[in-house]
Amino acid sequence: DVNAAGVAYVAHFRTKAIASPLLTDWTAVKRDPRHNTARADGFLAGRLHDGYSVYDVPPTGLDWRNSPLSCCTRFPILGPLRWAIHHTQDPKYVRFVVDHILGYMRAYPIEDFVGQSTRTGWTSHTVVAKPWYWCMIPERLTELSETVSLIRPARGITDDELLAILHRMYQETGYLRTEIKPWVDRRHNGGCAMIEAMAQSCAILGDFPAAREWLDYDAQLAAQYIDQAFYPDGMCVELTVAYSMAVSAVAQRLAYALREQEAIRARRSKVEALVTCMVALSDPTGWLPSFGDLYAGKVASGVFPPVLDWLDAPWARTVIRGGDGPQPPCTVWPQPSQE
- For residue 143, the number of C-alpha atoms closer than 13 Å in the C-beta half-sphere is 22
Percent of all residues in the chain with a pLDDT value above 70, rounded to a whole number: 97
Cβ contacts of 147 within 8 Å, gap of 6 or more: 75, 78, 81, 82, 97, 101
Tell me the C-alpha distance between 213 and 234, whole Å.
29
Provide the mean pLDDT of the chain.
94
Average pLDDT over every residue of 22-46: 97
pLDDT band at 292 (very low <50, low <70, confident <90, very high): confident
Average pLDDT over every residue of 11-30: 96
Say what the pLDDT of residue 312 is. 87
The answer, yes or no, to whether residue 333 has pLDDT greater than 70, is no
Measured in degrees and rounded to the nearest 5, phi and psi for residue 8 equal -65, -40
Taking alpha carbons only, the member of 152, 263, 135 closest to residue 204 is: 152
pLDDT band at 338 (very low <50, low <70, confident <90, very high): low
Say what the pLDDT of residue 112 is. 98
pLDDT band at 335 (very low <50, low <70, confident <90, very high): low
Q: Which residues pair with 48 in a beta bridge?
A: 55
Query: DSSP per residue over 295-321, as a string?
Result: ---BGGGG--THHHHHHT-HHHHHHHH
Average pLDDT over every residue of 30-56: 96
Tell me the C-alpha distance between 192 and 213, whole Å.
19
Of 54-63, 127-136, 290-299, least confident by mean pLDDT is: 290-299
Angle at 298 between CA 296 and CA 304, to 5 degrees: 110
The answer, yes or no, to whether residue 339 has pLDDT greater than 70, is no
Residue 69 in contact with residue 55, Cβ under 8 Å? yes
The answer, yes or no, to whether residue 285 has pLDDT greater than 90, is no
Q: What is the pLDDT of residues 180-218, one digit of tens each?
A: 999 999 999 999 999 999 999 999 999 999 999 999 999
- What is the C-alpha end-to-end distance of the chain, expressed in Å? 73
Tell me the C-alpha distance between 242 and 290, whole Å.
7
Torsion angle, alpha carbons of 214, 106, 83, 149, to 10: -30
Of 1-10, 126-135, 172-181, least confident by mean pLDDT is: 1-10
Average pLDDT over every residue of 37-47: 98
pTM: 0.93
List the chain domain ranges: 21-179, 230-330
Average pLDDT over every residue of 239-248: 92
Say what the pLDDT of residue 328 is. 84
pLDDT band at 238 (very low <50, low <70, confident <90, very high): confident
